[in-house]
Structure 1
């Protein structure tokens, strides 16, 4: 009976391996836009919005303070998508979904 000795692995390597096997690596990379939101959209838009969650299909759900801002952001959506998807290393956000804070 032989016992295999395993070398210790770095925790980050183990976590990366587990995430990759679970198919979550891309989703986590996509979700990086949430903490980066203020930098990506600018201070004025960040002031009136709050990214809430990333859905499985790549849709980013964003809370908006007012109906007027929701309309404005809908018009700005193509530009915002370019900003959010500007990092080629990150899987793209597929869609933005605006929700009125109520």
Structure 2
């Protein structure tokens, strides 16, 4: 094909627009403008998470919600084995009340208490927990059940 061929010239122009251009030609130049981030407007919708976060901050509930993380993150912080045998019963004044599944686990938790306090403070923030109170399992109640007697003095009256 010759240089004067109009069809060849049309192909070269089309290829240059597609980015293929003729060898050595840079192709069409495009101006790029920096993209400005959209500013939020009052009429733009907000997510529920943003609205709830604003309510929590305005009401001063952020500290209370941070303290509740001890209940939700307990298994992750202390590990699955300890979490299986130790349930949190309460958290007040930087003291965690824990109920152990057996007396053996209660003893182990009392020995591990300083390490657990350190792990909790590392995960939840320094000074969040100062002490752990470990309680053993609940003893069975003799006050009610099929073998109880009204007005009795407790287990010593049960066996005769």
Question: What TM-score, normalized by structure 2, do the two folds share?
Answer: 0.50
Structure ranking higher in strand proportion: 1
Corresponding position of 1:84: 120
Report deviation, 1:99: 2.6
Root-mean-square deviation (CA, aligned residues, Å) is 2.6
- Asked if 1:35 is matched to 2:56, the reply is no
Mean Cα deviation higher: 32-41 or 16-25 = 16-25
Q: How many residues align?
A: 97
Change (3 A) 1:28 1:88: closer
Question: What TM-score, normalized by structure 1, do the two folds share?
Answer: 0.71
CA contact (8 A) 2:77 2:123 kept: no
Corresponding position of 2:102: 66
Which of the two has higher C-alpha Rg? 2
Q: Which of these residues, 128, 135, 138, is aligned with residue 99 of structure 1? A: 135
